[in-house]
Amino acid sequence: MVGMESNRYPGEDQVARRRKELFSPESEFKHLREISDDDLVLLLGHRNPGEEYGSIHPPLDEIELPFDPISELIEPSDGARAGDKIRYLQITDSVYFSPLFPAFRGRLYHVRYPGIDTIVYAGRQLIEARERDLERFAKEILETELFDPARTAIRGITVHGSALRLDEDGMMFDARRRTRYNRGTGEVEYTKNQMAIPLDRPVRLGKPMADEELLRVSARYGGGSVPYRDAKELWELTGRILKQHVEGGFDPEKVEKK
């Protein structure tokens, strides 16, 4: 309706405001680091720097497609128009004040990035898209406050370790040892790509964020952030949804009557 604004998340506490910001497609996130196109390609591991994109079909402009009314409504992405292969980026977030967590990554990506598929697990989040589109999305994710080099990690396989205690440098455990903390520079370096294949040279992702900054941008209730029960509006809303879900499972009419 005219004059109304979307309320993308309930509540007005610090975490609720952060979640509203995350779910707004207009948000501009703080830029923290520069990652070259070649370094990004190395991290993803789908092709070699300078190599052409692989394709699964000819460019859309070169093939004759049957009439589809949806194609008249939706503009193909650059990757779809070129016929790129589907590629992926998988990220895990530490429970110790990572900027995001898997369920909210999935929601954020759907709001912000067209033409993707996403899968959310308990400790990881997978995004799939046409290759050149994925690289564009990954660049924003990895260069901004949506990613912290110590509390967030790119892991295509053997993702475990996100919920374990941090080491003395504040880094998550990684059985594949894809990253290392350079105490001389204070930066995190990737020595393997997301599939744990060794790189010819390390890729630097900069210095980890301080705990104070991580708490400031946290989308998670509890811990050093806002206690969940203090988020009154959210607590009442989720409690009502849970109650209706349980009661409705036994008698759907109970929900309808309300």
Predicted confidence (pLDDT) per residue in 72-105, tens digit:
888 999 999 999 999 999 999 999 989 999 999 9
Direct distance between the N- and C-terminal alpha carbons of the chain, in angstroms, rounded to an integer? 26
* Residue 11 confidence class, pLDDT cut points 50, 70, 90: confident
pLDDT at 256: 63
d(CA 42, CA 214): 27
Sheet holding 125-130, edge to edge: 117-120, 125-130, 86-93, 152-154
Sheet holding 179-182, edge to edge: 179-182, 187-192, 198-204
Q: What is the mean pLDDT of residues 6-33?
A: 90
pTM score, whole prediction:
0.86
Q: What are phi and psi of 93, to 5 degrees?
A: -120, 130
Find the Cα–Cα–Cα–Cα dihedral 192, 99, 103, 237, rounded to 10°: 170
Is a pLDDT exceeding 60 seen at residue 258? no
Is a pLDDT exceeding 70 seen at residue 2? no
